[in-house]
Structure 1
Amino acid sequence: MRFLQLSAIVLLVCGTVVLACFVGKATIDGYTIFSFNPTDYPTTGQFGDFVGGVVGTFFALSGTLLIYMNFKEQTRENKRSAFESSFFEMLKLYRENVSEFRYKKFMGGEYDMYENRQVARLIFEEFIECYREIRKYSNSKNELDYLHPVYAKKLRSIAVKQNPEIDIIEMASIDLAFLIVFFGLGEEGEAIIKANIINKFSKDYYYKLIYFIKLKPKRSNASRFESWERLNQLTYENFHKVIEDLYQARKQPSQPKSSFPLVQDFDMGKAYNKYYGGHQFRLGHYFRHLYQSYTYLNDHPDLSEKEKYSYGKLYRAQLSTYEQALLLVNSISSLGMKWEFQADASDLAGVSSNLITKYNLIKNLPGGHLSGIRYKTYYPDVSYENEF
């Protein structure tokens, strides 16, 4: 567009210069264009032919370019209007998604109803609980004690690309914790999780780990929850012995054999509600819509990069700190790696969009880490608010 504008100006200047030179030369030679003497009409006509044929061509070309530029600009504005209509509709749907969040949870001895952005805070707190429980269970520093060699290689390749300082055991723990919180440990959720990780983690590790996490009941089951807390207060060695005894007795839960009274206290033959019930019905649509909104913005052909960032910043301003924290752990997990760590399946070029970094989507996270998760390690190029 800049080239066309410059070309139109050059043609206009050239036409003006040619006209000025022609009129000046004619005046010097004694000819006059503005003559009412009939004998001068043939000469005047020749002047008109020259101006119309030569000078007029410059002006006509310049005018054509200006008209074309105006048409292009109008087309661009129409496309921008269409984009903004869709974009702000997406923003409206996002707000509706958040406004529909509801979560009834047992807290402080009674059930309380939480709504809207409060729900994002509670879900993230559950994630942190699960993450810490996984880290407590997983004490080895050898990645192959947990990960399938092929998957370990894939995570290392991501770390090399993103930041060599990334701890892939920590990354895998975040993945497991988010899967558990997202799908829950009901019969269906557990099956989905196992299908998702069967080729990624050591079977001996994840079967026992998931069994351990399943031991955690809802807080409303006071006696069993008290047993769960006592389990987590044991020394590391006894902690694993109790879990192993419970795991070995899973086929006969009412008759566990163990030297630890705590094993009997869990009373595994009795039904109970598991603590991690899952949030897929809350977060599934929420994250899909958020991702589609940003890919729609990022892939739009009629916006400059500066304009894209401006719209992305407007959208990001709607995200609470806990929503940004959930987006962080979602993007590290296998469910959300397409945000940054790997290309979306629909991207034939196989190139990641780097949406988190490009639009600074976790810009407002506080401090340097979240409950031990060093998020700056995963996204070193984000311009964090707390760095200013």
Structure 2
Amino acid sequence: MNPFIAISGVIVTGLAFYIQYKANAQQRELFYKEQELNNKQLQEQINSQSSQYRLQQFDSQFYELLRLHRENINEMIITGYNYWEKKEGLERYNAATRGRKLFVVMKTEFHCILRIYKDVRNIDKEGFKVCYNIFFFGLDQFKRNYPNETKLIELLSNARKKHEEPDLEIIKSNKDRKIYSDDTSLYFNYKPFSGHASRLSHYFRHLYLTAKTIATTEIISEYEEKMKYFRMLRAQLSVHEQILLYYNWLSEFGSEWENSKNSLFTEYCMIRNLWFNDLFIDAFINSNINILRNKETKFRKGKMFENDN
């Protein structure tokens, strides 16, 4: 055989093997890329399904917390009394206040305590804490803990006695029985200043757990998405509940609602629906509203309170 032809044959054969090798390598590379893409898509699908599952779990937990919140309110009850107005005079009968109505009368009662306190001294930070202590734990415990507060104890005791055990020779109407002063009346049907720790401690603890769960979850990263849950939570709260929530924070009993670590009021607007006209009129209370209003926020845009101009 001609050596030239033999060498040419070897070269052609080598080129054929090389071309086949390159083709095989290219096919392997395409296969690996396709496999990598498929694996990536599969992982994304798994992650998406996992995220959806975790979100569904969060939704279930959130709605269960809402259900328990409503149950907590529905189960609240204070047994007390009221008086019939008859020709012979006032006649006492048993009465009960329950459910969301309790927050209306509890706010009224706390405002009465604040009003009576102002007959002794002006309200400041410590004074507000004293008033909330009486409201939360009751006058009897306050007497034991602060026996030197004689003037305040006397005024509160007199208001309680007139409400609970009126002098029927003097007081002839149910309205007069509840009047403390021209601008303050004890319009509720239970023993005044008996304390609400058994009701409110559990209520506020559960409400805080629900709010904190939304704020700190890693399942929802976007602020606006979290706000959707906060709006649903806030929609469960009456104006009077939000007022008492504000007072709870202001007394430092509920300091965790708004501090250097948490911004559940200013960032997530838990008390957005406050009616300022329903707050007790006092400089200390109003000044702290302004402190909240003017606090710098990281995510919230726009007004903190719906009634702000």
TM-score of the alignment, normalized to the shorter chain, above 0.5: yes
Give the whole-Å Cα distance in 2 for the aligned partners of 1:123 and 1:184.
12
**Equivalent in 124, 138, 156 of residue 121 of structure 2:** 138
Does structure 2 retain, via aligned residues, the 8 Å contact 1:76–1:302?
yes
**Equivalent in 150, 158, 164 of residue 215 of structure 1:** 158
Does structure 2 retain, via aligned residues, the 8 Å contact 1:364–1:386?
yes
1:67 aligns with 2:11: no
Structure 1 segments unaligned to the other structure (5+ residues) = 1-39, 140-168, 234-272, 342-350
1:175 aligns with 2:129: yes
Give the whole-Å Cα distance in 1 for the aligned partners of 2:129 and 2:68.
28
Give the whole-Å Cα distance in 1 for the aligned partners of 2:97 and 2:275.
23
**Equivalent in 272, 275, 294 of residue 366 of structure 1:** 275
- Specify the SS of the correspondent of 1:385: coil
Structure 2 segments unaligned to the other structure (5+ residues) = 1-14, 85-92, 183-189, 295-302
Q: 1:296 to 1:319 in 2, by over 3 A?
A: same
Give the whole-Å Cα distance in 1 for the aligned partners of 2:179 and 2:249.
33
- Write out aligned runs for 1:337-376 (5 A): 337-341=255-259, 351-367=260-276, 370-372=279-281, 373-374=285-286, 376=289
Give the whole-Å Cα distance in 1 for the aligned partners of 2:258 and 2:263.
4
1:307 aligns with 2:225: yes
Does structure 2 retain, via aligned residues, the 8 Å contact 1:321–1:365?
yes
2:292 aligned partner: 379
Shift of the alpha carbon at 1:214? Answer: 3.2
1:82 aligned partner: 57
Letter of the aligned partner of 1:325 in structure 2? I
1:317 aligns with 2:235: yes
CA RMSD of aligned residues (A): 3.2
Q: 1:322 to 1:72 in 2, by over 3 A?
A: same
Does structure 2 retain, via aligned residues, the 8 Å contact 1:135–1:173?
no
- Write out aligned runs for 1:239-318 (5 A): 275-304=192-221, 305-318=223-236
Q: TM-score, normalised by structure 2?
A: 0.72
Q: Which moved more, 1:300-309 or 1:279-288?
A: 300-309
Count of equivalent residues = 261
- Specify the SS of the correspondent of 1:113: strand
Give the whole-Å Cα distance in 2 for the aligned partners of 1:58 and 1:210.
82
Give the whole-Å Cα distance in 2 for the aligned partners of 1:129 and 1:45.
95
1:53 aligns with 2:7: no
Give the whole-Å Cα distance in 2 for the aligned partners of 1:222 and 1:378.
42
Letter of the aligned partner of 2:25 in structure 1? F
The superposition leaves residues 235-254 of structure 1 with CA deviations (integer Å, 9 ceiling, x where unpaired) of xxxxxxxxxxxxxxxxxxxx
Letter of the aligned partner of 2:114 in structure 1? Y
2:105 aligned partner: 122
Give the whole-Å Cα distance in 2 for the aligned partners of 1:138 and 1:124.
21
The superposition leaves residues 171-221 of structure 1 with CA deviations (integer Å, 9 ceiling, x where unpaired) of 3333222221111112x4644xx3xxx8xxxx85x4543444233325131
Give the whole-Å Cα distance in 2 for the aligned partners of 1:357 and 1:190.
36
Does structure 2 retain, via aligned residues, the 8 Å contact 1:216–1:274?
no
Give the whole-Å Cα distance in 2 for the aligned partners of 1:223 and 1:385.
46
- Quick check: which one's strand share is greater? 2
Q: 1:207 to 1:306 in 2, by over 3 A?
A: farther
Letter of the aligned partner of 1:126 in structure 2? E
**Identity, % of aligned pairs?**
25
Q: 1:98 to 1:276 in 2, by over 3 A?
A: same
The superposition leaves residues 229-276 of structure 1 with CA deviations (integer Å, 9 ceiling, x where unpaired) of 99968xxxxxxxxxxxxxxxxxxxxxxxxxxxxxxxxxxxxxxx9621
Give the whole-Å Cα distance in 2 for the aligned partners of 1:210 and 1:42.
105
- Specify the SS of the correspondent of 2:164: coil
- Write out aligned runs for 1:189-200 (5 A): 190-191=143-144, 194=145
Q: 1:111 to 1:174 in 2, by over 3 A?
A: farther
2:12 aligned partner: none
Give the whole-Å Cα distance in 1 for the aligned partners of 2:110 and 2:134.
8
Does structure 2 retain, via aligned residues, the 8 Å contact 1:298–1:308?
yes
Letter of the aligned partner of 1:302 in structure 2? I
Shift of the alpha carbon at 1:102? Answer: 1.6
Shift of the alpha carbon at 1:52? Answer: 2.4
Give the whole-Å Cα distance in 2 for the aligned partners of 1:383 and 1:223.
48
Letter of the aligned partner of 2:199 in structure 1? R
Give the whole-Å Cα distance in 2 for the aligned partners of 1:377 and 1:75.
44
Does structure 1 retain, via aligned residues, the 8 Å contact 2:243–2:271?
yes
